[in-house]
């Protein structure tokens, strides 16, 4: 299990959110992910839409995982929404060659929100992901009341928020033992 503190992009300050931590845990055939949002009283949670793929999830509160196999220019993007909608894409290079990534089973997503704290959990089938080891980035688009958005990541390169930038893929996860 690896837990990380995400940082907001300096040009898009949150309204009430005080901090976000993200955790990645390999668990047998699944990869478990958790984002913990402190100061969630003004958090906008997309309404339930049921399982299924959807585009544009990043336009409101959404949680993302980017995976890159070391020495590879390509990467995988996984978008997970509290609405239970999701999507996964492969890119051959930075924002190039985008294609929908096949998934044998849909990820599961659940959000619990209180006044001061929200927790978003997801379980992703490992068979749907590139073979580890990975460089990865965990990120979140957070929408708060009034349409205020903040962009959170492990690291931000200079310029506008861009989770696709390899400068955001700063964590590493080794291949499982015995594989």
Neighbours of 80 (CB within 10 A): 26
Distances (CA, A) of 90 to 139, 146, 172: 17, 33, 19
**Distance between the two ends of the chain, CA-based, in angstroms?**
18
pTM for this entry: 0.94
Distance, in Å, from the CA atom of 35 to the CA atom of 121, rounded to the nearest integer, reads 7
Whichever domain contains 29, its CATH number is: 2.60.40.1190
Q: Is residue 176 predicted with pLDDT exceeding 70?
A: no
Q: How far is residue 144's CA from residue 34's CA, in Å, rounded to a whole number?
A: 19
3-state secondary structure of 157: coil
Query: What would the mean pLDDT of 96-114 be, rounded to a whole number?
Result: 95
pLDDT in tens, 64-91: 999 999 888 899 999 999 999 999 999 9
In a domain, 179, yes or no: no
Tell me whether residue 94 is in a domain: yes
Q: Would you say residue 178 lies in a domain?
A: no
Confidence of residue 128 (pLDDT cuts 50, 70, 90): very high
Condensed to tens digits (0 to 9), the pLDDT of residues 41-54 reads: 999 999 999 999 99
Which two three-digit tokens encode residue 17? 């959110």
Residue 63: inside a domain: yes
Q: How many domains does the chain have?
A: 1
C-alpha atoms less than 13 angstroms from C-alpha of 19 in its C-beta half-sphere: 4
Residue 179, pLDDT score: 44
pLDDT in tens, 139-172: 999 999 999 999 999 999 999 999 999 999 999 9
């Amino acid at each position: 299990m690896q837990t990380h503190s995400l940082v907001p992009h300096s040009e898009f300050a949150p309204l009430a959110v005080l901090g976000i931590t993200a955790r990645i845990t390999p668990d047998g055939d699944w990869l478990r992910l958790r984002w913990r949002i402190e100061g969630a009283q003004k958090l906008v949670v997309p309404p339930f839409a049921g399982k299924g793929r959807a585009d544009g999830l990043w336009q409101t509160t959404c949680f993302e995982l980017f995976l890159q196999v070391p020495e590879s220019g390509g990467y995988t993007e996984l978008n997970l929404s509290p609405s239970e909608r999701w999507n996964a894409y492969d890119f051959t290079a930075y924002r190039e060659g985008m294609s929908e990534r096949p998934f044998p089973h849909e990820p599961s997503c659940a959000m619990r929100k209180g006044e001061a704290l929200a927790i978003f959990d997801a379980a992703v089938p490992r068979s749907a992901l590139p073979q580890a080891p990975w460089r990865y980035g965990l990120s979140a688009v957070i929408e708060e009341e009034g349409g205020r958005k903040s962009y959170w990541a492990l690291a931000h390169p200079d310029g506008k928020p861009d989770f696709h930038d390899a400068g955001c893929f700063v964590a590493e996860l080794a291949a499982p033992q015995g594989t």
